Amino acid sequence: MLRRFISGQMTNFDFEDKMPSSKDFVISEIYDSMWLFYDDFTKHKMKDEWAFPKDTIKLMARWVIFLHSDEEYKWPKFRYAGIRPLKHNWLSRLLKKPEKEKKFMEFGDYNVWPFFDLESYNNAKQNPKLLSGS
């Protein structure tokens, strides 16, 4: 479903309506991160003027690969985990959000989030489940 939304095959409203409820923690982490990338007031597909930039698609493709892998999600709970680092204002700095964010990002190799490390990411890319019929 995420893949269909990213590629502009389904609307943002359909994406939200069809989001499965799951006990798999990474589903909510990715959904929370996705929510910041689209307008949830206007019905649209992610194409034409709404299309994601190429670097964002590359980021989200990694999320799709993770969801179709056998990798375990090892990161701690953190709001909007997939879109770090954020810019912080005076209030978030007062609440020590930058320090918490830094600690989160250093928990694993954040460059390959939601994978924990480069090895697990490379393994998932070299052994794809999505199109392999597994």
Per-domain residue ranges of the chain = 2-126
Per-residue pLDDT tens digits for 18-54: 888 888 889 999 999 998 889 989 999 999 999 999 9
> In sequence order, what are the beta bridge partners of 45?
11
What's the angle, vertex CA 71, arms to CA 69 and CA 74, rounded to 5?
A: 140
Residue type, 129: K
pLDDT band at 131 (very low <50, low <70, confident <90, very high): low
- The pLDDT of residue 93: 93
Note whether 6 and 57 are within 8 A (CB): yes
pTM score = 0.86
Q: What is the DSSP string of 53-108?
A: PHHHHHHHHHHHHHHTS-PPP-SPP-TTGGGPSPP--HHHHHTTHHHHHHHHHTTT
What's the angle, vertex CA 84, arms to CA 75 and CA 56, rounded to 5?
A: 105
- Alpha-carbon distances, residue 1 vs 13, 104, 127 (angstroms): 12, 27, 21
The conformation of residue 115, written as its DSSP 8-state character, comes to S
Would you state the structure tokens that stand for residue 65, as one six-digit string?
């690969």
pLDDT at 134 over 60: no
pLDDT at 90 over 70: yes
- The pLDDT of residue 53: 94
- The pLDDT of residue 6: 94
The per-residue pLDDT of the chain, averaged, comes to 92
Query: Percent of the chain scored above 90 by pLDDT?
Result: 78
